[in-house]
C-alpha cells in the first residue's frame, strides 16, 4: 500500500527483506521486481504520492509540489545552471518528458575499457531494454499528435539533410496535452508512479511517503535497515513521527544528487573518496523561433522529435514546447519589448539542444546549507561551451530552414538572429561561458559510480557498495559516464539487473 | 520577501512586465503574493539573492542612467533592464535574469494572461480527464531462457 502522512499517527517499526530509499527510476523497478519475487519490500519516499487527478497542468503548482525546492535547484559555478529534480512518488520520471532511448552503443564499450564493467554485456542490456520497452509501452511519438512546433522543426532539419526523427517515448495513446513535465494528466505517460509502483503495491510492497531517511543501520559492518522521519510536504519540517525498518538488504535510490549527499552526510561507503565526485549532467540551450503563422504551442508532445546528426560530437537536439510562464523566461528581454514578443507566443516555437557527452565534471558536496540541501558545483569547460554554441547555431539554422522570421538565442551579444548574416556572426564568435544568458541541465549522473576498482568507484557492477555489504545504490548516480541520451531507460535496466543479484543474495546464491 | 518595500516591488513588476496590446494589467497584490509564496517554498538563498539583486539594480541605475530607479519612467526602466540583460558581464546580466524569474512567472501563469495566448490549462485538463489508458499486455522475458 501507499502510506500517506494522514495515515501516520505514531512511530513506525517495520521489518522487511528489502528497504529502498527513493521511488524513482531506480527504486520503483527494484520494488516491483523484488516484491514480484515474493520478498517483503518497504520503500521510503520523501515526496508525496500524486495521481493523474492531481496533475492539473499548472506549472507553478507542479514546481512547488513535485520538484525539489520548487524547481529552483541550481548548480554553483559558471554559468549557473538550473537542474530540475523530482520529489514525488516516481521521482523525476513523474515530471520528465517521457523520452525512452537506449544508451548509445559505444558508451558500453567505454564502460568496459575505462571502468572495467565487462560483466555488463550488450546482449544482457538489450534484453532488459526490450523488456522495459514492452512494459512501458515505448513507441515513437505520433507525428499527428506531436504538434506543429515539432513537425516544423523536423521539416527544417530534413531540408538540411540532417539525421532526425521521432523520439521513442514511454507513453501509451498519448494525445499531446503538452504537459509531461507537470505530471501527465491523462495517464498516458508510463512514469514509475503509474507503471512499476502499482505493480509493486499489488505484490505487497509498502511505500511510506513524506518520509525522509536519516540513517542506515549497520550490524557487524553490514547494512541492516534504515531509520527516518516523516516530514510535512510543504515545509519539509519533521512531523515528530519516526520510522525504523530492519531489513536484510538496503538500497539507496535517491538519485544522483541526493544519494551521494546522504552518504556524505553520514560518512558512509566513501573509502574511495569518489562519493559525490564525477557529477555529469546534460547542459542544454534553448532556441526560440518566431514565425509568421501560428504553431500553437504548447499543444502537442513537448519532447517528441530529435536531431542526432552530431551525436558523435556530443550534441543531441530534443525539443520542446512549454507554456507561456516558462516560455517567458527564455526570452532575454524585459519591459515592452518582452511583452510584445510574448503576444506572439502562438507563433513561436522552441527547441532544446543538449551537450550529451560532456568534458566537464562537477561535484555534489555537503556545504551545510539550510535544510536538507546539497550544493552542486559545476563549471562548464571550453569544449562543452563550444558544443553548446554549435548546438545553438544548428538549431537556428534548422529554424530558418523551416521558415522562421527571427530566432532568439540565449547567447549575449547574439540574442536576436534575423538572418544569415547574424547567424554567420554567431557562428564565427568565440562564445565564452559567461556569454550564456540562461542554461538548464538534466540527467545528473555518476556521483556514486560503478566500476571494477574499489579505489576509483563506489559500487560493484552488481550495484552493491564496495564498503558495506548488503548496501546497494541503484539510480543515476551509479552510471559511470553519460549514456549519450536521456538515461531513464538505462537506470531502469540496471535496476532490474540489480534486482537479480539481490534475489540471488536473499535466495542464498551468493 | 518582506524585506523589499512594496513600492519597489511595484516598480520591478511594471518594469519587467511592461505592456502590450492584448495583454491584461498587472495584478500587483496577486503577483506579489505569488512571489512571496514562490520564495517561501523554494531555495532559501533565492529570496536573499532577489533582495541583493534589487539593491544592486538600484546602484546600476545610478551608474547607467544617472538617476535612481524610482525616478525613471516605465519605458526607461524597461530600457535599463534590456541594457543590463545584454551586458557581456555575467554578474550585471545575472541581476536582470534573477529578478525576472519570479516576476515573469507571476504574470504569465495567470489564466487571464495564458488563455488569450493559447494555453488553457482548464480546457486541456477537462479533455484529459475523459481519457482512460489501460496497462494490459504480455511481457517478454528479462533473462535468456535456459536452452
How far, in Å, are A69, A371, A461, B36, B37 from residue B41 at the CA level?
6, 12, 38, 9, 6
Contact A105, A488 (CB under 8 A): no
Which residues of chain A have a CB within 8 Å of the CB of B94?
80
Q: How many Å apart are CA B116 and CA A218, to the nearest integer?
A: 59
Compute the residue count for chain A: 510
Best probe of the B interface among A328, A430, A504, by most B CBs < 10 A, is: A328
Q: Which of A144, A91, A368 is nearest to A254 (CA)?
A: A91
Which residues of chain B have a CB within 8 Å of the CB of A323?
108, 114, 119, 121
Beta strands in chain B (DSSP E): none
Q: Do B105 and A369 touch (CB under 8 A)?
A: no
Q: Quick one: pLDDT at residue A377?
A: 97
Side-chain-side CA neighbours of residue A60 (13 Å): 21
Q: How many Å apart are CA A417 and CA A423, to the nearest integer?
A: 6
Question: What is the chain B residue with the closest CA to A496?
Answer: B142
Beta strands in A56-100 (DSSP E): 74-75, 81-82
CA distance A197 to chain B (A): 13
For residue A109, with 0-12 CB atoms within 10 Å meaning exposed, 13-18 middle and 19 or more buried, which class applies? exposed
ipTM for the whole predicted complex goes beyond 0.90 = yes
Q: Do B100 and A173 touch (CB under 8 A)?
A: no
CB-closest option in B37, B113, B135 to A324 = B113
CB-closest option in A70, A128, A334 to B85 = A334
Q: Quick one: pLDDT at residue A298?
A: 82
Is the preceding peptide bond at A343 cis, omega within 30 degrees of 0?
no
Q: Which of A76, A90, A44 is nearest to A262 (CA)?
A: A44
Q: Which of A44, A298, A281, A279 is nearest to A181 (CA)?
A: A298
* Helical spans, DSSP H, in A136-268: 143-146, 148-159, 196-202, 255-266
Q: Which of A141, A50, A125, A178 is nearest to A496 (CA)?
A: A125
Q: How many Å apart are CA A219 and CA A462, to the nearest integer?
A: 21
CA distance B121 to chain A (A): 6
CA distance B66 to chain A (A): 20
Beta strands in A46-203 (DSSP E): 74-75, 81-82, 138-140, 164-166, 168-170
Kindly state the cell numbers that stand for A420. Answer: 544569415
Q: How many Å apart are CA A136 and CA A219, to the nearest integer?
A: 38
Q: What count of CB pairs under 8 Å joins A to B?
A: 199
Among all chains, which residue has been given the C-alpha cell 510562464? A325
pLDDT per residue rounded down to tens, chain A (510 residues): 999 999 999 999 999 999 999 999 999 999 999 999 999 999 999 999 999 999 999 999 999 999 999 999 999 999 999 999 999 999 999 999 999 999 988 999 999 999 999 999 999 999 999 999 999 999 999 999 999 999 999 999 999 999 999 999 999 999 999 899 999 999 999 999 999 999 999 999 999 999 999 999 999 999 999 999 999 998 889 999 999 999 999 999 999 999 999 999 999 999 999 999 999 999 999 999 999 999 988 889 999 999 999 999 999 999 878 999 999 999 999 999 999 999 999 999 999 999 999 999 999 999 889 889 999 999 999 999 999 999 999 999 999 999 999 999 999 999 999 999 999 999 999 999 999 988 999 999 999 999 999 999 999 999 999 999 999 999 999 999 999 999 999 999 999 999 999 999 998 654
Contact A304, A169 (CB under 8 A): yes
Q: Do A137 and B137 touch (CB under 8 A)?
A: yes
* B3-30 pLDDT per residue, tens: 789 999 999 999 999 888 889 999 999 9
Amino acid at each position: 500500500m501507499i502510506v500517506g502522512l494522514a495515515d501516520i499517527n505514531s512511530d513506525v517499526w517495520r521489518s522487511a527483506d528489502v528497504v529502498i530509499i527513493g521511488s524513482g527510476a531506480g527504486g520503483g523497478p527494484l520494488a516491483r521486481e523484488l516484491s514480484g519475487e515474493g520478498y517483503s519490500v518497504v520503500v521510503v519516499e520523501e515526496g508525496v504520492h500524486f495521481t493523474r487527478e492531481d496533475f492539473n497542468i499548472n506549472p507553478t503548482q507542479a514546481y512547488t509540489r513535485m520538484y525539489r525546492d520548487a524547481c529552483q535547484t541550481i548548480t554553483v559555478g559558471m554559468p549557473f545552471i538550473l537542474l530540475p529534480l523530482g520529489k514525488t512518488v516516481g521521482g523525476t520520471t513523474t515530471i520528465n518528458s517521457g523520452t525512452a532511448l537506449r544508451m548509445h552503443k559505444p558508451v558500453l564499450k567505454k564502460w568496459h575499457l575505462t571502468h572495467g564493467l565487462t560483466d555488463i554485456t550488450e546482449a544482457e542490456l538489450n534484453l532488459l531494454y526490450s523488456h522495459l520497452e514492452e512494459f512501458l509501452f515505448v513507441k515513437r511519438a505520433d507525428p499527428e499528435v506531436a504538434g506543429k512546433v515539432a513537425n516544423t522543426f523536423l521539416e527544417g532539419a530534413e531540408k538540411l539533410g540532417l539525421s532526425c526523427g521521432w523520439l521513442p517515448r514511454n507513453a501509451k495513446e498519448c494525445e499531446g496535452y503538452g504537459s509531461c513535465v507537470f505530471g501527465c494528466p491523462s495517464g498516458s505517460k508510463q512514469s514509475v508512479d503509474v507503471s512499476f509502483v502499482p505493480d509493486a503495491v499489488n505484490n505487497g510492497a509498502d511505500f511510506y511517503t513524506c518520509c525522509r531517511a536519516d540513517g542506515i543501520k549497520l550490524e557487524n559492518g553490514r547494512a541492516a535497515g534504515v531509520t527516518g522521519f516523516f516530514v510535512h510536504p510543504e515545509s519539509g519540517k519533521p512531523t515528530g513521527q519516526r520510522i525504523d525498518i530492519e531489513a536484510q538488504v538496503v538500497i539507496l535510490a535517491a538519485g544522483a544528487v541526493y544519494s551521494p549527499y546522504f552518504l556524505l552526510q553520514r560518512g558512509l561507503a566513501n573509502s574511495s573518496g569518489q562519493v559525490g565526485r564525477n557529477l555529469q549532467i546534460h547542459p542544454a540551450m534553448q532556441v526560440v523561433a518566431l514565425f509568421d503563422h501560428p504553431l500553437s504551442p504548447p499543444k502537442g508532445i513537448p519532447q517528441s522529435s530529435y536531431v542526432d546528426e552530431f551525436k558523435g560530437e556530443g550534441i543531441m537536439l530534443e525539443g520542446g514546447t512549454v507554456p507561456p510562464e516558462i516560455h517567458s523566461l527564455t526570452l532575454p528581454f524585459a519591459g515592452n519589448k518582452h511583452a510584445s514578443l510574448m503576444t506572439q507566443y502562438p507563433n513561436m516555437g522552441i527547441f532544446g539542444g543538449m551537450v550529451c557527452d560532456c568534458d566537464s565534471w562537477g561535484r555534489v558536496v555537503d556545504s551545510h546549507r539550510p535544510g536538507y540541501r546539497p550544493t552542486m558545483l559545476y563549471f562548464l569547460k571550453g569544449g562543452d561551451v563550444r558544443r553548446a554554441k554549435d548546438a545553438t547555431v544548428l538549431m537556428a539554422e534548422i529554424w530558418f530552414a523551416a521558415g522562421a522570421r527571427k530566432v532568439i538565442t540565449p547567447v549575449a551579444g547574439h540574442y536576436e538572429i534575423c538572418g544569415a548574416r547574424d547567424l554567420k556572426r554567431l557562428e564565427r564568435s568565440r562564445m565564452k561561458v559567461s556569454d550564456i544568458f540562461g542554461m538548464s541541465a538534466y540527467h545528473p549522473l555518476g556521483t556514486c559510480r560503478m566500476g571494477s576498482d574499489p579505489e576509483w568507484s563506489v559500487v560493484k557492477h552488481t550495484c552493491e557498495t564496495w564498503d558495506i555489504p548488503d548496501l546497494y545504490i541503484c539510480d543515476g548516480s551509479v552510471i559511470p559516464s553519460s549514456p549519450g541520451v536521456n538515461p531513464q531507460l538505462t537506470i531502469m535496466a540496471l535496476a532490474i539487473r540489480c534486482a537479480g543479484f539481490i534475489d540471488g543474495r536473499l535466495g542464498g546464491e551468493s | 520577501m518582506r524585506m523589499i518595500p512594496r513600492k519597489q516591488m511595484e516598480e520591478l513588476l511594471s518594469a519587467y512586465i511592461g505592456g502590450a496590446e492584448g495583454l491584461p494589467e498587472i495584478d500587483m497584490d496577486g503577483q506579489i503574493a505569488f512571489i512571496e509564496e514562490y520564495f517561501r517554498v523554494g531555495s532559501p538563498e533565492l529570496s536573499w539573492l532577489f533582495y541583493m539583486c534589487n539593491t544592486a539594480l538600484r546602484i546600476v541605475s545610478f551608474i547607467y542612467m544617472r538617476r535612481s530607479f524610482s525616478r525613471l519612467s516605465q519605458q526607461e526602466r524597461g530600457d535599463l533592464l534590456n541594457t543590463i540583460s545584454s551586458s557581456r558581464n555575467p554578474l550585471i546580466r545575472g541581476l536582470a535574469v534573477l529578478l525576472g524569474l519570479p516576476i515573469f512567472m507571476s504574470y504569465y501563469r495567470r489564466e487571464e494572461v495564458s488563455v488569450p495566448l493559447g494555453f488553457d490549462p482548464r480546457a486541456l485538463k477537462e479533455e484529459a480527464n475523459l481519457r482512460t489508458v489501460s496497462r494490459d499486455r504480455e511481457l517478454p522475458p528479462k533473462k535468456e531462457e535456459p536452452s
